[in-house]
């Protein structure tokens, strides 16, 4: 079943001129196929008219029910409402372009007199050249109030995942491929092209249902390698954009300290952060695993690093907000030889406890990390001796 669905996805990706397919089936843990209803579409014109009562639903979340569907987004389930957790979602640029090009809606009526909409065309526009750029989006997941469903929430209308759904019609298929429980690839396939897919998943006569097919031959190392290559390329793009931004701000006499803050925000919350999240899902210094509060901090400062150093994952720590601020201000550092934490004398014992700083903490570092840490450590020592 899983392999048959992968074959359907590869046919669609080839149809919309995405190079680099077929997808490697062993790179994903599983696939979720959700047949969308009007209640999961974020656009006014996707409404269903029932007689004189028009229902316009502009929801910004997806409801996933059933144990298999819920486990697709969590490692384990429990009976209580849990804190939300960020997830990373990649999208094919050509999928979005294709849906935009075929966004014109034609009204039709069903046997009950309800109005629904279909696309005027599902052809590939001539300007849709082969392009494999992966767009990135962030959403967050949480249990429903009763613990029997998962909600995937998209908090920002500018997120690519929101824009993808803006192009969706009722009965379209939202397909999500899972690398692990925090990373996914998302597709929307027009329902006019979903006959084989809905036959495989037995969802022809249903709306707003989800179907999960797990991969019995999942290769975690391969999944990691593919993600690393994709995200590393995105980091390089981000670095060019951040450099351009900094140059623009540098030429603005009134920019002041905003330069460093804006660039740091872009870098710490962008693709470089995703690169570090590949290796771990919690703060390097503490047990905080709520990914929404974890940021990427360069060990050797971004502004003084070479381009190669800026995109090297060895030159980064994944830190919660408190520890990121302390590290950024050189109030904590690490001995590059031993990995032992060094804490500023200005932070007393009571504050150390409050900030979850242990004098005995030791950071495991690669040789490359140690070379980056040498400069940070020296700045820490200089600041302490001032």
| 346 and 204 assigned to the same domain | no
Q: Which two tokens stand for residue 259?
A: 């330069």
Tokens 């997808």 — which residue? 23
What is the per-residue pLDDT for 82?
62
**pTM tops 0.85:** no
> Could you tell me whether strands 134-143 and 85-92 are parallel, antiparallel, or unpaired per DSSP bridges?
antiparallel
pLDDT tens column, 275-331? 888 888 889 999 888 777 888 899 998 878 888 888 888 999 999 999 999 999 999
pLDDT tens column, 318-377? 999 999 999 999 999 999 999 999 999 999 999 999 999 999 999 999 999 999 999 999
pLDDT band at 249 (very low <50, low <70, confident <90, very high): low
* Whole-angstrom distance, CA of residue 376 vs CA of residue 386: 16
Q: Is a pLDDT exceeding 50 seen at residue 48?
A: no
Q: Is a pLDDT exceeding 60 seen at residue 43?
A: no
Spatial CA neighbour of 175 closest among 163, 184, 162, 166: 184
Q: Which residues contact 316 (CB under 8 A, 6 or more apart)?
A: 272, 275, 276, 296, 297, 298, 299
Percent of the chain with pLDDT over 70: 84
| 277 and 369 assigned to the same domain | yes
| 45 and 180 assigned to the same domain | yes
What is the per-residue pLDDT for 258?
59
What's the domain count of the chain? 2
Structural domain containing residue 93: 2-218
- Residue finishing a domain among 218, 236, 261: 218
What is the per-residue pLDDT for 44?
46
Region of poorest pLDDT, from 58-67, 120-129, 193-202, 370-379: 58-67
Which has more pLDDT, 67 or 322?
Answer: 322
Percent of the chain with pLDDT over 90: 37
| 8 and 80 assigned to the same domain | yes
| 210 and 338 assigned to the same domain | no
Region of poorest pLDDT, from 103-107, 141-145, 175-179, 216-220: 141-145
Label each residue of 263-279 as H, E or C.
Answer: HHHHHHCCHHHHHHHCC
Label each residue of 156-213 as H, E or C.
Answer: CCCCHHHHHHHCCCCCCEEEEEEEECCEEEEEEECHHHCHHHHHHHCCCCCCCEEEEE
What is the per-residue pLDDT for 317?
95
Averaged pLDDT for residues 251-258: 63
What is the per-residue pLDDT for 277?
87
What is the per-residue pLDDT for 244?
74
| 169 and 271 assigned to the same domain | no
pLDDT band at 272 (very low <50, low <70, confident <90, very high): confident
| 82 and 63 assigned to the same domain | yes
Q: Which residues contact 320 (CB under 8 A, 6 or more apart)?
A: 283, 285, 286, 288, 293, 294, 295
| 164 and 243 assigned to the same domain | no
pLDDT band at 236 (very low <50, low <70, confident <90, very high): confident
pLDDT tens column, 107-160? 877 777 777 778 888 889 888 888 767 888 878 887 766 667 888 887 677 788
* Whole-angstrom distance, CA of residue 334 vs CA of residue 364: 10
Region of poorest pLDDT, from 70-84, 183-197, 293-307: 70-84
| 30 and 41 assigned to the same domain | yes
| 58 and 191 assigned to the same domain | yes
What is the per-residue pLDDT for 353?
93
pLDDT band at 76 (very low <50, low <70, confident <90, very high): confident
- Residue finishing a domain among 191, 218, 245: 218
Averaged pLDDT for residues 251-272: 65
Average pLDDT, the chain: 83
Tokens 């996805």 — which residue? 9
| 189 and 273 assigned to the same domain | no
CATH number for the domain spanning 131: value is 2.40.330
| 145 and 288 assigned to the same domain | no
- Residue finishing a domain among 218, 235, 256: 218
């Amino acid at each position: 079943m899983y392999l048959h669905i992968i074959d359907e996805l590869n046919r669609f990706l080839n149809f919309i001129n995405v190079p680099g397919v077929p997808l490697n089936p062993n790179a994903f843990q599983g696939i979720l196929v959700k047949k969308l209803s009007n209640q999961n579409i974020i656009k006014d014109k996707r409404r269903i008219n029932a007689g004189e009562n028009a229902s316009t639903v502009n929801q910004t979340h997806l409801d996933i029910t059933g144990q298999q569907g819920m486990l697709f987004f969590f490692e384990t389930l429990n009976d209580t409402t849990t804190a939300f957790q960020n997830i990373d979602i990649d999208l094919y640029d050509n999928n979005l372009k294709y849906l935009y090009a075929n966004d014109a809606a034609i009204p039709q009526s069903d046997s009950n007199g309800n109005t629904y909409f279909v696309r005027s065309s599902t052809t590939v526009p001539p300007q849709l050249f082969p392009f494999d750029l992966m767009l990135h989006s962030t959403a967050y997941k949480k249990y429903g109030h009763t613990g029997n469903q998962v909600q995937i929430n998209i908090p920002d209308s500018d997120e690519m995942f929101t824009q993808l759904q803006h192009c969706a019609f009722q009965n379209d298929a939202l397909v999500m491929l899972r690398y692990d429980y925090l990373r996914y690839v998302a597709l929307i396939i027009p329902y006019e092209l979903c006959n084989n897919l809905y036959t495989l998943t037995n969802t022809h006569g249903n709306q707003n249902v989800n179907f999960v097919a797990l991969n019995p031959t999942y290769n975690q190392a391969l999944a990691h390698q593919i993600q690393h290559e994709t995200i590393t390329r995105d980091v390089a793009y981000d670095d060019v954009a951040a450099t351009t931004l900094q140059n623009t701000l540098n030429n603005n006499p009134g920019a002041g300290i905003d330069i460093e803050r804006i660039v740091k925000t872009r870098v710490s919350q962008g693709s470089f952060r995703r690169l570090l999240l590949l290796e771990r899902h919690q703060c390097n210094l503490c047990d905080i695993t709520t990914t929404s509060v974890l940021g990427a901090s360069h060990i050797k400062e971004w502004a003084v690093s070479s381009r190669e150093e800026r995109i090297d994952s060895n030159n980064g720590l994944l830190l919660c907000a408190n520890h990121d601020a302390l590290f950024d201000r050189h109030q904590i550092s690490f001995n590059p030889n031993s990995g032992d934490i060094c804490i500023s004398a200005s932070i007393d014992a009571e504050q150390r406890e409050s900030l979850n700083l242990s004098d005995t903490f030791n950071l495991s570092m690669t040789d490359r990390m140690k070379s980056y840490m040498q400069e940070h450590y020296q700045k820490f020592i200089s600041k302490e001796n001032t």
